[in-house]
């Protein structure tokens, strides 16, 4: 397979700018989130068993990043927005040895601001 054939075989995913543009078509399983160019996957609505007692609950459909947000990615967000960095960073950037690790010690509101 030459380069042109390989590029034709790569699936192109829709690019989405904000939550109002999330596909309603259940055949679309993957999108690219324009804010960070990360691939997101659709988790369909359905029932699951929760807790030790395995109580059945219903979860609405949602979209989630396919890969974790790294400290380096979150640092770009902090620099661009002035958002507070995680408390374990020595300043507005993480230690060099953890830049490729998943960002931790952030709150729900921080994750919503990042998204």
The H or E element spanning position 64 is: strand 62-65
The more confident residue out of 7 and 23 is 23
Whole-angstrom CA distances from 106 to 39, 41, 67, 86, 93 are: 21, 22, 17, 6, 14
Enter the DSSP assignment of 33: E
Q: What whole-number distance in Å separates Cα of residue 105 and Cα of residue 6?
A: 41
pTM for this one? 0.66
pLDDT at 14 over 90: no
């Amino acid at each position: 397979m030459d380069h042109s054939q390989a590029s034709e075989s790569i699936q192109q995913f829709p690019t989405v700018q904000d939550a109002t543009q999330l596909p309603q078509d259940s055949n679309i399983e993957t999108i690219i989130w324009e804010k960070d160019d990360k691939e997101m996957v659709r988790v369909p609505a359905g029932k699951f068993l929760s807790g030790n007692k395995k109580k059945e609950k219903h979860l609405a459909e949602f979209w989630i990043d396919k890969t974790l947000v790294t400290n380096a990615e979150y640092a770009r967000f902090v620099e661009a927005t002035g958002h507070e960095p995680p408390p374990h960073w020595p300043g507005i950037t993480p230690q060099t040895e953890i830049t490729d690790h998943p960002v931790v010690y952030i709150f729900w509101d921080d994750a919503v601001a990042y998204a």
